[in-house]
Structure 1
Amino acid sequence: MDSGLLLSFLAVDLLLVCVPGADWAYVIAAGLRGRSVTVAVAGLLTGYALHTALATAGLAVLVAGSPRLLTALTVVGAGYLVWLGWGVLRRPAAPGAAGDLAAGPGRVFARGATISGLNPKGLLLYLSVLPQFLTLRGAHLPVPAQTAALGVLHMACCGTVYLAVGTLSRTLLSTRPSAARAVTRTSGAAMLGIGAFLLVERLATL
């Protein structure tokens, strides 16, 4: 693949990953509640690995060409974001608090995979952003291999940023309960707002 395209994708992808959302809220909550940030991030990356596999298999193109299917997936993901955001606003994470992340590592991992697997931002990345960086003609690598490479690069960006966010939240907010609640409430409001916006926008096109 062209190194210029890779660098351009990396820059765009990092900007998207660094925008707080459902993934951020989850790793922050994991850090504040004393759960393994690594397990939470591994779950999130598993969801994106599924996105990468489906995109590599060509299903992303199929979804992008089917407005009804794209609408259904976006509505489900947006609805899940609204539900998560409302839950975070009702029960903002505090250092050492129990709650949804009080279960074992398996549940922490599974919920992370569900969050990223249904995250509309991830869906839109694979359907709208990633295809713009594929070289369709004259490329040394076939399109599926290019798609897989960009998907893996996205997962690497997610892993790096989310591990840093989760670790810093535990370090900087563990002794500041009020600040921790404010951060998680802000994340919850962002999830709720983004989910509601996506729902309204997508349903308005029906």
Structure 2
Amino acid sequence: MVLDLLAFAGVMALGQFSPGPDMLLLTRTSLAEGARQGARMAAGIATGLSLHAAVAVGGAAILFDRSPWVRTTLSVLAAGYLLWLAWRLFMEVFVRWYSGAKEEKAELPAHGSAYRRGLLCNLLNPKVAVFLAAVTAPFLQGPRPGWWPAGLWTIIVVEGLVLWIGWAWVLQWRPVRGAYLKAQPVLDLVFALVLAALGVLMILGVRT
């Protein structure tokens, strides 16, 4: 039983660090706004993850199969949110280059707290629930103690929160953050392009 929990934690760790909207947004926020904002965003992502995990562990993920419109609606909302974030980042890069501010930040007014951005990014992505349902299904089979589903849910949420906050702090390592600050406009443009690409791919996925 302990080995099963360790195996599940290992699989989840790989999933939580896989490339995607959450990791992309967390990485950029931590580099640009610091570890505290990164930790707040990690808390927002973990809050969304807690709801997805409850759906997956509770077996309600079949809702997406029985009611495709639910998944389609969430995908469209998620794509729109990613495109909006990409547009804001494009505008920040444009303002910074236009003003010629290399040392000072020349950004648009704040567009929501880091916690809320992380929450929406995770909560609106139906692929999170689908992934969790696929990963948890094998670990829910067979005779298990009554606390088992709650244990899996705890691993998903707590491990994600701890790892993401740790990642936000690792990105504060001086060589890493210094390299980012030197090339911030270019890297922010790359982040914006990737966010926009993820949004477009999500829309194409809905259409197909």
TM normalised by structure 2 equals: 0.73
Indicate the residue corresponding to 2:140 in structure 1. 135
Q: Note if contact 2:38-2:168 (Cα within 8 Å) is conserved in structure 1.
A: yes
Distance in structure 2 (CA, Å) of the matches to 1:181 and 1:146? 47
Distance in structure 2 (CA, Å) of the matches to 1:14 and 1:29? 20
Q: Note if contact 1:43-1:109 (Cα within 8 Å) is conserved in structure 2.
A: yes
Distance in structure 1 (CA, Å) of the matches to 2:185 and 2:171? 11
Distance in structure 2 (CA, Å) of the matches to 1:140 and 1:63? 26
Provide the secondary structure at the position in 2 that maps to 1:140: coil
Gap runs ≥5 in structure 1: none
Indicate the residue corresponding to 2:132 in structure 1. 126
Correspondences of 1:166-185 after superposition (within 5 Å): 166-171=168-173, 172-174=176-178, 176-185=180-189
Indicate the residue corresponding to 2:200 in structure 1. 196
Instruction: Among all aligned residue pairs of Structure 1 and Structure 2, give the percentage whose two residues are the same amino acid.
Output: 23
Q: Which amino acid aligns with 1:33?
A: E
Structure 1 residues 153 and 112: alpha-carbon distance in aligned structure 2, compared to 1, 3 A threshold = same
The alignment covers a number of residue pairs equal to 196
Q: Note if contact 1:25-1:188 (Cα within 8 Å) is conserved in structure 2.
A: no
Q: Which amino acid aligns with 1:158?
A: G
Provide the secondary structure at the position in 1 that maps to 2:143: coil
Larger radius of gyration: 2
Q: Note if contact 2:74-2:125 (Cα within 8 Å) is conserved in structure 1.
A: no
Deviations for 1:158-199, whole angstroms, at most 9, x for unmatched residues? 223322332233332146423344444333333222222122
Q: Which amino acid aligns with 1:116?
A: N
Q: 1:40 and 2:45 equivalent?
A: no
Provide the secondary structure at the position in 1 that maps to 2:18: coil
Distance in structure 1 (CA, Å) of the matches to 2:104 and 2:130? 34
Q: 1:114 and 2:120 equivalent?
A: yes
Deviation at 1:57, TM superposition (A): 4.5
Distance in structure 2 (CA, Å) of the matches to 1:74 and 1:147? 27
Deviations for 1:79-135, whole angstroms, at most 9, x for unmatched residues? 3223323333443599874546586xxx332222112111344233234x2343333
Gap runs ≥5 in structure 2: 97-101
Q: Which amino acid aligns with 1:155?
A: V
Correspondences of 1:67-78 after superposition (within 5 Å): 67-78=68-79
Distance in structure 2 (CA, Å) of the matches to 1:150 and 1:141? 12
Structure 1 residues 23 and 182: alpha-carbon distance in aligned structure 2, compared to 1, 3 A threshold = farther
CA-based RMSD of the aligned residues comes to 3.2
Structure 1 residues 115 and 96: alpha-carbon distance in aligned structure 2, compared to 1, 3 A threshold = farther
Distance in structure 2 (CA, Å) of the matches to 1:163 and 1:95? 27
Deviation at 1:200, TM superposition (A): 0.7
TM normalised by structure 1 equals: 0.74
